Chain A
Amino acid sequence: MQIAKLTRRLIAGATVAATAALAVPAVADDSRTLRIVSPWEVTGLDPARSGYLFARLQVAETLVTADDGGRPVPGLAESWAVSSDGLVWTFKLRPQAAFHDGTPVSADSVAQSLRRARATTGGMLANAPVAEIAATDGAVTIRTERPFVPLLAFLAHSSAIVLAPAAYDGAGAVTRIVGSGPYRATAIEPPLKIEIERFDGWKGPRPAIARASYLAVSRGETRTAMAESGQADLVYVLPPESVERLRRNARIGVTVMPIPRTRMLKLNAARPFFDDLRVRQAVSMAIDREGIATAILRSPTSAATQMFPPSLAEWHVPGLPPLAHDPARARALLAVAGWSPGPDGVLAKDGRPFRVTLRTFSDRPEQPPMAAAIQAQLRDVGIDMRIAIMNSGEIPAGHRDGTLELALLARNFSLVPDPLGTLLQDYGPQGGDWGAMNWSNAELTRTLEALGSASDPVERARLRAVAGRILHAELPVIPIAWFDYGVAASRRLAGVSIDPLELSYRLGAMRWAE
């Protein structure tokens, strides 16, 4: 029975190999490194590209940052003041602040870093009317061309993080990250990994977490598995379909928090289709927001009733009639606007069928299924919509060359912590890459401009409500759903809090639960 012996040996060999390979037990807690996972990759050291990661990891600081409500709070600057004409801002730096190479943070180095940030492509400061950034008497002064109240919000943007002179090469490109935050980077391995540890030269409260690592994991399934297996302590951007499952896991705390981002339809208001307000209203009424929010986003309350979510308390307008689902009225409005059903059920006007293409992108995995739902709902009122899944850049590209008809996107209103920054970019007289297209409204333009210079809180509140009402009535874009930010935190961690503006992971305030 030698064959049988050989067979047994082969089986044994293969089994041993397989189990040896597969069953090495993982160490559940190999060290006290806090592991963070999110989908966003490290695309380079340039602050305009990956500065948000170094800001969130508290490696680098901005002059000013923001609290949960978007109000400016001190960052690297301890205090600030603006001249009576509203043109010159003076920032007093935190004394004893030091860069990670040991050099003190001087007004000169801050001014130099900000001037570089302003000159960088893709940066945010370039969009502010800044005339001059200088170091004067140990303070940083910024002069604007006109009174510009949202300047503080622009300075809080991650592309304006302050780096040490040693971070730049002769041409002004960032070659390493030398920040001033409570953590310093010990390893940066684009595109996936960053490792940080506590910076001993930090003069503020000493963080309890000594070490952390950041891993970019683009697949939502993988991020979920990492949270479930305990491999990651903090997992950002949970796929909606896995939130319920993670909630049942006793080792994980799940936070789902509304953030100031709104999924919306961008419309080309010059086309024969959407130049008519009644058509825009009809499209809005054809969309079953609750259905989409429930079935695809798994969050019924995220169905948008207006552009700004209630969490954006300053901009949310409480009294507005909610955007509602009413396909019968949508059909009626389209009929009044001159669109009548053709033989194939598709609406037509002057022999032209109502056939449009919607562009969207898959970096946000919920967008293609949302597009499919919208396609079916518009079909129901006689609009034939095709879907093109592209790169996100194709939306501003189509805005620029005029070929865009419809787009589904998720616009961030906390691009700078004050939504006004986004609105000025998106709804000015020329429209905006991620906002209105071939639509403008003189009153809205005036209102937004006034908000840029008004400083009286009562007047500002009134102006915000005016802007909100115009956007709601005119529908230059059609809000679909607000945005929930799902985060899974291991119960091993205590003191976890989530920044709705995504400016910081707030590691400095966390500690290991015993």
Chain B
Amino acid sequence: MGGIGRAVAARALQAILVAVLVGALCFAMAEALPGDQAFRIAAARYGEDMVSGIAADAVRAELGLDRPAWMRLAGWLGDVARLDLGVSLVSGETVFDELVHQLGATIGLSVAALALSAVLGPPLGVLFALRAGKFVDTAGMAAAAALRAIPTFVVGVALMLVLASWLAILPAAGYDRPQSWLLPTATLALGLAAASSRVARDAMVAALRSGHVAFARTKGLGEADVVRRHALRGAAAPVTAYLGVQLVYLVEGVVVVESLFAWPGIGHALVHAVIARDIPMLQGTALTMGLLFVALNAAVDLACMAIDPRARST
């Protein structure tokens, strides 16, 4: 099997493990939470004013919450094997249908954020590397550290205050027009770009100091050609590999950003499923995010192989 085939197979196996583990962990965690699930679901369905012992009893009977936990988990695993994710305990819709709606919104937002961060981060990083140690580089480092240290939520609120409340040039939230994409995308992308600019900067500095770049210089190439033909490609591999690490930040960011900007994605659904203890929905959203994570990592692997021929043969 070639390197690419092996990488794909390894990721596929990983995906299955992720599915089982995520499902079981979500279930266990939701079960371990204190309190009565029937009341929580009733509160989520009917609102605080209408949740009562009677409503909770009806929910318990309807959903069979009296069955032992292992029976409910086994039922879920069996259903997942048949690609049936069950029915949301709150809305009564199938989890699959809800996820299909949400996944599009989340993938769209994630891809837009990654793209924007790719446009912002690495070019800035290369710029900082070419000016290593100078003012621009130091300022860039300070800005990146600040952006990364501030919680995504605060960055989002700050952007919203400036661009939506004060300048009124962007919609603050929602998803009904093209401009609605900008604030959530920028919120996520700024954090991502902060990190990728630093990684790109360090990779570029290392590449510029490397032997093959020195050789290119001795060979008489102009500095711009050296950078373009030799240093950039050398620096691209670690930057792309780092994307995989960034995905964790992205998944975490999506949860916060979607709630803040009323974005109808999986992160938003996950937060609500946790509050409502909607276990099928919780398992479904966490599972989707887990699988998305594996798929994106696989894509990053393949991209690394494309950039760096050495990775293909190992």
Contacts and interface: CB of A to CB of B under 8 A. Distances in A.
A27 B169 CA distance: 8
B42 to A, nearest CB: 6
Interface in B42-96: 42-56, 58-59, 62, 90-93
A14 to B, nearest CB: 5
Contacts of A221: 157, 160, 260
Contact of B45 (A22, A30, A122): A122
A333 to B, nearest CB: 32
Given A10-B123, A43-B44, A221-B160, A3 B171 contact: no
Contacts of B222: 2
B127 interface: yes
Interface of B: 35-36, 38-56, 58-59, 62, 90-93, 98, 101, 116, 119-120, 123-124, 126-127, 130-131, 157, 160-161, 163-165, 168-179, 182, 185-186, 189, 222-224, 227-228, 259-262, 264, 268-269, 272, 275-277
A17 B56 contact: no
A10 B127 contact: yes
A229 B40 CA distance: 35
B91 A190 contact: yes
Nearest to B127: A10
- Chain A binding surface SS class: mixed
Contacts of A363: 48
A509 interface: no
A2 B223 contact: yes
A26 B179 contact: yes
Nearest to B225: A2
A425 B49 CA distance: 11
A26 B170 contact: yes
A399 B163 contact: no
Interface stretch (A110-118, A209-217, A347-355): A209-217
Q: Which of A14, A26, A215 has the most CB of B within 10 A?
A: A26
A399 B261 CA distance: 36
B197 to A, nearest CB: 9
B262 A122 contact: no
A122 B42 contact: yes
B161 A225 contact: yes
Contact of A121 (B55, B116, B120, B174): B55
Interface stretch (A200-208, A280-288, A390-398): A390-398
B186 A219 contact: no
B92 A393 contact: no
B209 to A, nearest CB: 15
Given A221-B160, A391-B275, A229 B53 contact: no
A355 B179 CA distance: 53
- Chain B binding surface SS class: helix
A25 B165 contact: no
Contacts of B227: 3, 6
Given A7-B130, A13-B119, A392-B48, 6 more contacts: A3-B223, A122-B55, A189-B101, A189-B264, A215-B174, A391-B44
B126 to A, nearest CB: 6
Nearest to A221: B157
B130 A3 contact: yes
B285 to A, nearest CB: 12
B182 A219 contact: no
Contacts, number: 220
A6 B168 contact: no
A122 B50 contact: yes
A248 interface: no
9 contacts: A17-B119, A21-B185, A122-B42, A191-B264, A193-B176, A219-B259, A225-B165, A229-B171, A433-B52
A222 B161 CA distance: 9
A393 B38 CA distance: 8
B120 A218 contact: no
Contacts of A411: 49
A228 B268 CA distance: 24
A11 interface: yes
A314 interface: no
A394 B35 contact: yes
Q: Which of A11, A49, A363 has the most CB of B within 10 A?
A: A49
A393 B35 contact: yes
A218 B276 CA distance: 14
A231 B174 contact: yes
A43 B91 contact: yes
Interface in A170-214: 173, 189-193, 213
Tier of interface size on chain A: 35 or more
A513 interface: no
Nearest to B171: A231
B272 A191 contact: yes
B120 A44 contact: no
A26 B169 contact: yes
A193 B263 CA distance: 10
Contact of B120 (A18, A52, A399): A18
Given A5-B224, A363-B48, A396-B56, A225 B164 contact: yes
A397 B35 contact: yes
A43 B90 contact: yes
A98 interface: no
A17 B264 contact: no
Given A215-B262, A218-B259, A390-B35, A44 B45 contact: yes
Contacts of A192: 175, 262, 264, 268
B186 A222 contact: no
B171 A22 contact: no
B176 A397 contact: no
Contacts of A229: 164-165, 168, 170-172
Interface in A226-263: 226, 228-231
A228 B131 contact: no
Contacts of A231: 164, 171-174
A465 to B, nearest CB: 25
Interface string A400-438: 110000000111100100000000010000001110000
Contacts of A415: 49-50
A187 B182 CA distance: 24
Q: Which of B41, B45, B172, B261 has the most CB of A within 10 A?
A: B172
Q: Which of B36, B50, B92, B98 has the most CB of A within 10 A?
A: B50
Q: Which of A13, A22, A25, A434 has the most CB of B within 10 A?
A: A22
Given A189-B101, A218-B262, A394 B59 contact: no
Given A10-B126, A14-B127, A122-B46, A217 B173 contact: yes
A224 to B, nearest CB: 7
B258 to A, nearest CB: 10
A48 interface: yes
Contacts of B41: 393
